[in-house]
Structure 1
Amino acid sequence: MNPLDTLVREYVVPVMKAAGFAKKGRTFRLVAPNGDHLFMQVWPEAVDPEKHVFDVFFSVVPLPSWDFAYREQAERPAVNASGALARYEVIPPPAVAHQPDSEMPFRSRWAFADPETRDICGRELARVLTEVALPRMVPLLDRKTLLTESRINPNDGLVTLRDDDTCEIMLRIDDDPVADVAALVDKAEADGDFPPFVAWARERLARRVAGA
């Protein structure tokens, strides 16, 4: 077995399964009742022939974000991290970082030299997931919490991948009063936001009204 897969199996799988995530390959998925997804991925980086180097990151994919990304496809693929509205890098402690003195994004990379340091790295990753990353990210499956966090802690490791107006509309469009969201869409249009997004948002609101 690939040494990175061994680390994932022994140290990551127990933590993620206990938190309710399903596993496929090196990707872990948690689905909210409304269809929103939270992914955690272990991503190898071929940057050092002497070490196994990888990133660990979470992606939040609210269903409106996915629907907008694939709005022109009649048959949409299963939700995956490509539709993320927000992303969070799990930063390694210096002892298991590939370049502990570097700036981001290189500071985010974990590393071990199999077999000497694999167990140390695995234990540290399990600890950081349990103590830091999962408590930080699982609550963000709630859209209101994600919206609040994106406003309060824009530099606290959480990176929103759309501008503030678009992010707010996507997180409010299915649940908040239609008139309130429509006002946000009008403002986005007046500000010159992406016209296809404005059209999509209006159509989604119209469907809400028609189904009410």
Structure 2
Amino acid sequence: MKILNDFLREYVTPVMSAAGFRKKGAEYRFKNESGDSVFLTFSTTRIDPEACVFFATCSFVPEPYWEWLNRQHVEAGLPPADSSGVLAAYSVLPPDSCAHAPTAPGLARARWAFGGRNRSIVGAGLAGQLEAEELPRIGRLLVRPGLLAEITSSRSPSVRRWGVVQSELVLMVDDYTAQQKEALLAVPELDDTFRRDYREWAGNRAKSGV
């Protein structure tokens, strides 16, 4: 991990710090004024003895979803949000010049890699991509309607990590009218337990003035 951490400190931290992200280990985190959080997480995989191979994952934890996950603990106080409460996520895909397996299918295509000879090339490529592409996308998805549009999109691979209707109900709990919520709650794919728990949670949230 030290090889990756040194790499992140040199190439990634300057870009992410300038955008307001805080670093903890191999993860960068940011929380907006609405309480919604995003995490950019780097993780290594030991599959190549001659290269540092890693994934970069962007995870979104909206405040309403974090409260929903921890709704039994609201009165005692919610713990700080972390990337375990992800509602939507995507892999930051490397350009061919920075990819471990540029022609590989599926998840393998998401692997970044660098060695002694191309470390600076990969570092500059990652930093440039974060600044030019990923940070603007993160900004769009930190706005709840923008995240909802991405969650409900038919684009593949999908960013969503939960059901479409459930995600919409929880994400937009503060914005939708009672009629809009009930219309969504009426869809047949939801079970009665979710409906009951959602109505109770949404009612308590409205009373608390969140």
What is the TM-score of this pair, normalised by structure 1? Answer: 0.88
Contact 2:42 2:55 in 1 (8 A): yes
Contact 1:44 1:53 in 2 (8 A): yes
Contact 1:38 1:138 in 2 (8 A): no
For residue 82 of structure 1, give the secondary structure of its aligned residue in structure 2.
helix
CA distance in 2, matches of 1:83, 1:110: 25
The answer to whether structure 1 residue 199 and structure 2 residue 196 are counterparts is: yes
CA distance in 1, matches of 2:23, 2:33: 18
CA distance in 2, matches of 1:178, 1:207: 14
Task: Using the TM superposition, give the Cα deviation of residue 76 of structure 1 relative to its aligned residue in structure 2, in angstroms.
Answer: 4.6
For residue 159 of structure 1, give the secondary structure of its aligned residue in structure 2.
coil
Contact 2:71 2:201 in 1 (8 A): no
Which letter does structure 2 place at the counterpart of 1:147?
L
Task: Using the TM superposition, give the Cα deviation of residue 77 of structure 1 relative to its aligned residue in structure 2, in angstroms.
Answer: 3.5
Q: Which residue in the other structure is 2:141 paired with?
A: 140
Unaligned runs of 5+ residues in structure 2 are: none
Q: Which moved more, 1:6-15 or 1:192-201?
A: 192-201
Task: Using the TM superposition, give the Cα deviation of residue 143 of structure 1 relative to its aligned residue in structure 2, in angstroms.
Answer: 0.8
Q: In the comparison of the two structures, how many residue pairs are matched?
A: 207
Task: Using the TM superposition, give the Cα deviation of residue 14 of structure 1 relative to its aligned residue in structure 2, in angstroms.
Answer: 0.6
The root-mean-square deviation of aligned C-alpha atoms, in Å, is 2.0
CA distance in 1, matches of 2:158, 2:17: 23
Unaligned runs of 5+ residues in structure 1 are: none
Q: Which residue in the other structure is 1:90 paired with?
A: 92
Task: Using the TM superposition, give the Cα deviation of residue 131 of structure 1 relative to its aligned residue in structure 2, in angstroms.
Answer: 1.3
CA distance in 1, matches of 2:159, 2:204: 30
Task: Using the TM superposition, give the Cα deviation of residue 45 of structure 1 relative to its aligned residue in structure 2, in angstroms.
Answer: 1.1
CA distance in 2, matches of 1:82, 1:118: 30
Among the aligned pairs, what percent are the same residue? Answer: 36
Which letter does structure 2 place at the counterpart of 1:193?
L
Task: Using the TM superposition, give the Cα deviation of residue 57 of structure 1 relative to its aligned residue in structure 2, in angstroms.
Answer: 1.1
Deviations 1:61-112 (A, max 9, x none): 1122222223345565321111111111111111111111101100000001
What is the TM-score of this pair, normalised by structure 2? Answer: 0.89
Q: Which runs of 4+ in 1 moved over 6 A?
A: none
Q: Which residue in the other structure is 2:127 paired with?
A: 126
Contact 1:182 1:205 in 2 (8 A): no
Contact 1:26 1:41 in 2 (8 A): yes
Which letter does structure 2 place at the counterpart of 1:178?
A
Contact 1:51 1:111 in 2 (8 A): yes
Distance 1:173 1:100, change over 3 A: same
Which letter does structure 2 place at the counterpart of 1:109?
R
Which letter does structure 2 place at the counterpart of 1:98?
H
Which letter does structure 2 place at the counterpart of 1:205?
A
CA distance in 1, matches of 2:108, 2:55: 9
CA distance in 2, matches of 1:153, 1:13: 33
Distance 1:48 1:8, change over 3 A: same
The answer to whether structure 1 residue 101 and structure 2 residue 103 are counterparts is: yes
Distance 1:46 1:196, change over 3 A: farther
